Chain A
Amino acid sequence: MTDLTEGNMFDPNEGQNSGLRRPIWIMLAALGIVMISGFIAGFSVHYQNEGGRAFNGIAAAIFAAAILGIIGLGYRTWQNAKAGKVSGENLTPRERRRRYILSGCIFLGWIMGIGLPIMFEGRGSAEAVTIFSNSPLPTNIALAFVFVLLVIVPAITWYWHRYAVDEMEESAYRDGGYYAAYAFLFLTPLWWLLWRGGLLPEPNGVAIYLTFSLVWTTVWFWKKYL
């Protein structure tokens, strides 16, 4: 048991949402690092393909800013993680597993963010691996994505729900699922009708998928943390 005194009887996240800032910061910073790393990889491949001829001062400044961005976000993440330890922010076993899985996923995302533009070098436009693209993909890259989505993601998801998520979070997931399902049921035909009426562009599957995910995630966050 934790040795508690009058002053530290309760956890840092007790009561209101005082413990929220740190994990949110770490999550956003990790996402930022993944995205900037992908940008740097794509940027480097682009200039390498051009033989380095167009790598002028502006390109160097953008490159340096991206590197500085990663260093800054990494430093802030490290500071936040350290502050969490100092303040005695104990984690339960489920939370600890949760953190390991999230760290692993972020690392996997980071590897993919860097690896994809490099894998794609000389095999068509790097734009093809971006989420809104409908451009053709090399078969082996498409199959690699399918493997990740069909084998790795379900395995992680199963482990996540079995060993990291507790019943309160399961309830938050269920609530998020309801809201997302209703948003899908109402908004998709609405967009389709507005398109047929000439008021909106053609419905886009990725946009619908992202909206569904965003609604689900937002409700999950609200129910779990707020």
Chain B
Amino acid sequence: MKNQLKVLRAMRNWSQADLGEQLDVSRQAVNAIETGKYDPSLPLAFKISRLFDLPIEEIFDDGFDGGEHV
């Protein structure tokens, strides 16, 4: 899943370790989420959302274009 995590982190001048520490995950997890290799669980997505004070859908993009709901 595409996301803005890397941009948001860079805007705050945080390293992956800094972000990992705040989210209580490893640097590998931060890296995997940023590169779209791993989709975070809902609790972690909420944690990220609260940390950056942004709605989940502004951080993560599931590719849904607003068309017909499945």
Contact = CB atoms under 8 A, between A and B. Distances in A.
A168 B28 contact: yes
B18 A10 contact: no
Given A2-B15, A167-B44, A95 B26 contact: yes
Nearest to B29: A168
A202 interface: no
Contact of A95 (B15, B27, B35, B40): B27
Nearest to B10: A9
B24 A2 contact: no
A90 B17 contact: yes
Q: Is the interface of B mostly helix, strand, loop or mixed?
A: helix
Interface string B12-47: 011111101100111111011101001011001000
Contacts of A98: 26
Interface of A: 1-2, 4, 9-11, 13-15, 19, 90-95, 98, 166-169, 171, 224-225
A178 B20 CA distance: 27
Range of interface residues on B (Cβ < 8 Å): 20 to 34
Given A14-B31, A15-B35, A2 B18 contact: yes
B25 A92 contact: yes
Contacts of B15: 1-2, 4, 9-11, 90
B38 A92 contact: no
A15 B28 CA distance: 10
A166 B25 contact: yes
A95 B18 CA distance: 12
A39 B40 CA distance: 44
Contacts of B17: 2, 11, 90-92
Nearest to B38: A168
A94 B25 contact: yes
| Residue with the highest number of chain B CB atoms closer than 10 Å, among A1, A4, A169 | A1
Nearest to B41: A167
B43 to A, nearest CB: 8
| Residue with the highest number of chain B CB atoms closer than 10 Å, among A166, A168, A171, A225 | A168
Contact of A92 (B20, B35, B40, B44): B20
Contacts of A10: 15-16
Contacts of A13: 16, 27-28, 31
A209 B44 CA distance: 35
Contact of B24 (A1, A14, A93, A169): A93
| Residue with the highest number of chain B CB atoms closer than 10 Å, among A9, A10, A11 | A11
A217 to B, nearest CB: 16
